[in-house]
Amino acid sequence: MFNIEGYIDYTKREYCRAIKCQVQNILDQESEGSEKYELIRSICKTSCIHSTHEFHAWLIQNGYLILRPKSN
């Protein structure tokens, strides 16, 4: 990923922490990479309790832009 001057990139799990997701709160109590951490993380991967609509709305409300490069 590249940085655009004057902008910051979204950081991993920023949304989850900002909305105080219950699963994220439990995940934060575990050591990253541990067996228990990965088990809890699998909930996020396969059964997130929030929708992509909620996530995208949060991104927009917080001033994030979604960009992609031009096609050649």
Structure tokens at 41: 């993380």
Cβ atoms of residues 6 and 60 within 8 Å: no
In the chain, where the domains are located? 14-61
Q: Which of 2-11, 12-21, 27-36, 55-64 has the lowest mean pLDDT?
A: 2-11
Residues 6+ apart with CB under 8 A from 33: none
Residue that the structure tokens 């994030």 belong to: 64
Q: Give pLDDT tens digits for 29-44.
A: 999 999 999 999 999 8
Q: Give pLDDT tens digits for 40-71.
A: 999 989 999 999 999 999 999 999 988 888 88
